[in-house]
Amino acid sequence: MRGSGFRNDIGGEQVKCAHDELPYRIGDKWTAHVLRGLQDGRRRFTELRAGMPVVTPKVLTETLRAMERDGTVTRTEYDENPPRVEYELTEQGHKLLGLLDLCCEWARENLVET
């Protein structure tokens, strides 16, 4: 899938990108939901999934793996049976969540109702 992340240059600044042109992958379909789902603390895979619109485990896993690579979430695996895995936002993840809030605020204030 998107994997390693690309290099790009918007306005002369080198940034790491999701789909080439936008800094980071907030633009994809599920990252924002993960940020929201983890804003109040660590959650298990199933908890997280239950707290958002219907998404297949495959896609949610891909999203989480990408966010882990990018350093916005951590993944903790417990050696139990049945298995247990918990995800948590990193400091950077929380900062990104703050940006998401700003975007939502902008949208509310500036986009007219259709």
Partner DNA sequence: CCGCATCCTTTAGGATACTG
Partner DNA sequence: CAGTATCCTAAAGGATGCGG
- Give contact residues for DNA (rule: CB under 7 A): 1-2, 19, 28-30, 44-47, 54-59, 61, 63-65, 75, 82-86
Alpha helices in the chain (DSSP H): 31-37, 45-50, 57-70, 91-110
Nearest distance from C-beta of residue 30 to DNA, angstroms: 6
User: Under DSSP, is residue 87 helix (H, G, I), strand (E, B) or coil?
Assistant: strand
Beta bridge partners of 15: 8
Query: Would you tell me which residues interact with a copy of itself (CB under 8 A)?
Result: 4-5, 10-11, 13-24, 26-30, 32-33, 36, 39, 53, 70-71, 92, 95-96, 99-100, 102-104, 106-108, 110-112, 114
